[in-house]
Structure 1
Amino acid sequence: MLLAACSPYTAPPEGLYAGVLKRGESVTEATPAGPFTALAIQYRQGGGYLTSTQIDSMRLLYRDKVLIRKAEGITRWDGIGQPVYFADVFEQSDKVLKLAYEHDGKAVVQRIAAADIAYRATVAFPHGFPLAPGLLYFPGQLQPGFLLQALPLRETVLPDPLVGNYSLHANTLAAISPDGMSFAMVDSDSAPSVVMVVDADGGRREAIGLPRTYLADLPDAQANPYVRVWDWARTTFAWHKNGAGKWEVRTAAAPGTPANAVEELFIDEQSGYRQCFAASNTACLRTWRAADAAQLRKTFGPDYAPPFAWVPQAATRAFGANVSLLLFSRLGFSGTGTGYSAYVDGGQEALAAQLSMRLQDRNIPFVRVDQCPPRLGHGGKCAAPLADKLGRAESNGRELEQLIHSMEDQPGALFILPSMAVMVRARQEGGSVIQTLMRADFSRKD
């Protein structure tokens, strides 16, 4: 009796689709569309409690014959006149993405080579995020990803704006040029802080820093998470050709030019980052040019040559000191976000005093960390001043607190503003640097 109960019995197929099933298989759902039918298959083996097996898969038929025998998932590409299907298929040990459709009265199954990279997906959008009718965006997990257009099928791998130590992590597609050959990339789909334009052939424009903008929260898990950044980009960027005939984006003009563009970067993030310094973009300030190799070596030494560094074409002062170079780079703390650093010839204490005075004159609240009382017990340093001056509750998050803790024993003066953390420190080479370490709305949860 026990052996009979545990036997690996498989029932013969039956029903409308019995001809495309093997023993043990049954159809739990069938979805026909034109000449195609997508089947949800359940395979059961054995009737005993200990040895029964159940495996779920998908199968795609074309004119009642098997086209794709086994797929982990099959979904239809909506918004296209004819049926087009995505299928996740295992080939040996690799999962590949295939597309099935009809062309000239014949079935076509095509592998999507660009999908070999890891791309982002959600339950609601397992195969790309709709960007336009017949156009899907597949964002990469660690890369810009690719676009897929139908029909005829066209794959466009988005070029990486910048890789390695100089990367700004601008890997999210925000906008496409009118001719479809250039792409505006930002560093976040929810709180962008930089835009870079890259061409299909790999060419790129200079990075432009943006005021960090927190986009609306998603209404639910079914929403396309990229629609908000695409809508924001349409009202923020305008496409233009530069003097070399290359596409660039220009951001909305600032309501007024600050008295000192460099100082404004470290006083008010929302107004300061409405100015840009890219020498090749005519919408940016025209009094700056790209630093040459000699100027980069003088400032950073032989082993660091950042791509986005500018020098003033005429004597420029900030906080009572001469500015020699302005750097735009990935922020040093936590490796996320972007910001400016200004290299000047003044001393640390004089610069910190000037920054304090500017903030006080503008009635901008701030906390200078080196002037906070000593930490008591396990409480966070500066917790009381942050709560009093910035409305910062320590429970709102830990990233700012981690920054403060990491800088406690470091030389320099750390300023916490409502939307920035700025460090003023002396350099061994002489002079000082005013460095943005974090950009965020500190009243929000991290």
Structure 2
Amino acid sequence: MRLIHRDKIVFEQAREIEPWLGLDKPAFFVEYSSVDWGEYLVHEAAGKPVVERIEEGNMHHSGRRRVYAEGFPFGYPWRSGVRYFPRAETPGGLFSVFPAKTRELPQPVDLLKRLDAYTLAAISPDETSFAYVDSMEAPTFILVVDANGERRDPIPIPRVQLPPRPGPAINPYERVWSWFNATYTWQRDSNGKWSAKTVAPAERAAANPVEEIFLSDRTGYRSCFTAADAYCLTSWHQASSAEVAKEEPGDAAQPLVYAPSIPIKAFGANAKLLVYQRSFWRNSGYLLYTDATPAQVVAQYVQRLERRKIPYVRSDQCPGSDNGSVDCNALLKSRLNITRRYDDWLIRKLRNAGPGATMFVLPDLVISFSTSEQGSTAILTVYRGDLARAE
């Protein structure tokens, strides 16, 4: 494609040119590749074309690569004169014009490689704080970060399945932005910091909130455990490095670990530590350490499932296949109406549960029980969400 200004060629062979609509004066995005690849914004000043480079170099194999969707090769309109440029492994930035400027969104350093929170959901009224979620399709938590990188603890929520994108002409991020604005409001906490407060009245906590997070995504994630948030349970505190080291001595600096301030039981055992972290792929969920053996905890867990008539499939009860591994396909279909390909992610997880580990598949959770290096029982959330439609 060719871009011409007053009969003079600005770009001779651009791969893509798109006008930035809705501005007071013309501006064009240009993707161009000669010696190296680059993206530019072209506009006019004092009667002459101004060419400003936005991106340069090959970004398709780095954590900073841009996230594209059909119909939006040059970012997503946030408001007039501002576009959102999301990235693969950072929150991305906001690009504004006249003059052209990119504002990189802050990212908490201590959560790198621990929790994925790269999708911008909202900006505070004074534009000093930002709310992120882990997915523009099905968010599982809200994380508020200030411009200087200071963060609140993430607030886990039941997995939200947002409506499908209507078509390529519709901004795909509108779904998560509309959902946030309908569900949350910005409010300052007791320290004067912005936080995201739910608009709806708080749901009643389960009789045993710790057990509930491993029984149901929908009801279990109505509770949260960070004492720093006034809307979470007050019977937990941020675990110290010494407390964490007792269970995970190799990673005592974990940032999202909570310990009970009073003795709390879960599945017949004492709850020791509760960790919020990344789970399978970019899902998120809790890991709980208890002081009983896996066999004792699993027995109690099965009692809870059967008492509440929650259907389940457990890996150690699946029949063996010809090659000696377990084959859970028939049970998944008959008990949970989940039809899987032989080698998809859920089948592989069940087939490779690990020595001594037992995995449970529920309608909206996959939970693993195993022995930790320190001899505790570790209860891990492998996945949460509607498994009948999970890809």
TM above 0.5, one fold?
yes
What residue is the counterpart of 2:14 in the other structure? 71
- The answer to whether the 8 A contact 1:161-1:171 is kept is no
Stretches of structure 1 lacking an aligned partner (at least 5 in a row): 1-56
Q: Distance in 1 between matches of 2:91 and 2:4?
A: 31
Could you say which structure has the greater relative contact order, defined with CA pairs below 8 angstroms and 6 or more residues apart? 2
Classify 1:167/1:425 alpha carbon distance in 2 versus 1 (closer, same or farther; 3 Å): closer
Match of 2:227 among 267, 279, 288: 279
Match of 1:433 among 372, 378, 382: 378
How is 1:110-125 mapped onto 2 (pairs within 5 angstroms)? 110-112=52-54, 117-125=64-72
What residue is the counterpart of 1:419 in the other structure? 364
What residue is the counterpart of 1:82 in the other structure? 25
- The answer to whether the 8 A contact 1:254-1:271 is kept is no
Shift of 1:304: 4.6
Classify 1:60/1:397 alpha carbon distance in 2 versus 1 (closer, same or farther; 3 Å): farther
What residue is the counterpart of 2:267 in the other structure? 319
Identity of aligned residues (%): 36
- The answer to whether the 8 A contact 2:283-2:383 is kept is yes
Match of 1:344 among 290, 297, 305: 290
Q: Distance in 2 between matches of 1:247 and 1:268?
A: 30
1:332-391 Cα deviation digits (max 9, x unpaired): x4x321100111111211111111111112121111221233335799612222112111
What residue is the counterpart of 1:255 in the other structure? 203
Q: Distance in 2 between matches of 1:66 and 1:395?
A: 54
Q: Is residue 2:43 matched to residue 1:101?
A: yes
Q: Distance in 2 between matches of 1:200 and 1:275?
A: 28
Q: Distance in 1 between matches of 2:111 and 2:131?
A: 20
How is 1:118-133 mapped onto 2 (pairs within 5 angstroms)? 118-133=65-80
What residue is the counterpart of 1:24 in the other structure? none
Q: Distance in 1 between matches of 2:75 and 2:302?
A: 49
Classify 1:378/1:230 alpha carbon distance in 2 versus 1 (closer, same or farther; 3 Å): farther
1:251-303 Cα deviation digits (max 9, x unpaired): 45542111011001001111111211122221211221111111111110044
- The answer to whether the 8 A contact 1:161-1:170 is kept is no
Classify 1:270/1:301 alpha carbon distance in 2 versus 1 (closer, same or farther; 3 Å): same
How is 1:183-194 mapped onto 2 (pairs within 5 angstroms)? 183-194=130-141
Classify 1:174/1:387 alpha carbon distance in 2 versus 1 (closer, same or farther; 3 Å): same
- The one-letter code sitting in structure 2 at the alignment partner of 1:100 is V
Q: Is residue 2:316 matched to residue 1:370?
A: yes
Q: Distance in 2 between matches of 1:274 and 1:357?
A: 22
- The answer to whether the 8 A contact 2:2-2:9 is kept is no
1:35-74 Cα deviation digits (max 9, x unpaired): xxxxxxxxxxxxxxxxxxxxxx32231x334444553322
What residue is the counterpart of 1:196 in the other structure? 143
Secondary structure in 1 matching 2:352: helix
Match of 2:126 among 155, 174, 179: 179
What residue is the counterpart of 1:11 in the other structure? none
Q: Distance in 1 between matches of 2:321 and 2:359?
A: 16
What residue is the counterpart of 2:244 in the other structure? 296
- The one-letter code sitting in structure 1 at the alignment partner of 2:336 is L
Secondary structure in 2 matching 1:147: strand
Q: Distance in 2 between matches of 1:97 and 1:282?
A: 45
Classify 1:180/1:104 alpha carbon distance in 2 versus 1 (closer, same or farther; 3 Å): farther
- The one-letter code sitting in structure 2 at the alignment partner of 1:111 is R
Q: Distance in 2 between matches of 1:174 and 1:70?
A: 36
Q: Is residue 2:117 matched to residue 1:142?
A: no
Q: Distance in 2 between matches of 1:264 and 1:245?
A: 32
Secondary structure in 1 matching 2:244: helix
1:53-112 Cα deviation digits (max 9, x unpaired): xxxx32231x3344445533221101212211112234x733222222234555433223
Larger of the two Rg values belongs to structure: 1
Q: Distance in 2 between matches of 1:265 and 1:303?
A: 24
1:112-139 Cα deviation digits (max 9, x unpaired): 3699752122341111111222221111
Q: Distance in 2 between matches of 1:237 and 1:88?
A: 37
- The one-letter code sitting in structure 2 at the alignment partner of 1:198 is V
- The answer to whether the 8 A contact 2:111-2:255 is kept is no
Q: Distance in 2 between matches of 1:343 and 1:225?
A: 39
1:300-325 Cα deviation digits (max 9, x unpaired): 00445221001111111111111111
Q: Distance in 2 between matches of 1:277 and 1:114?
A: 43
Out of 223-232 and 248-257, give the one that drifted further.
Answer: 248-257
Q: Distance in 2 between matches of 1:346 and 1:253?
A: 36
- The answer to whether the 8 A contact 1:206-1:308 is kept is yes
Q: Distance in 2 between matches of 1:162 and 1:242?
A: 22
TM-score after normalising by structure 1: 0.80
- The one-letter code sitting in structure 1 at the alignment partner of 2:179 is W
Stretches of structure 2 lacking an aligned partner (at least 5 in a row): none
TM-score after normalising by structure 2: 0.90
Runs of 4+ that moved beyond 6 A: 377-380
Secondary structure in 1 matching 2:297: helix
Shift of 1:150: 3.4
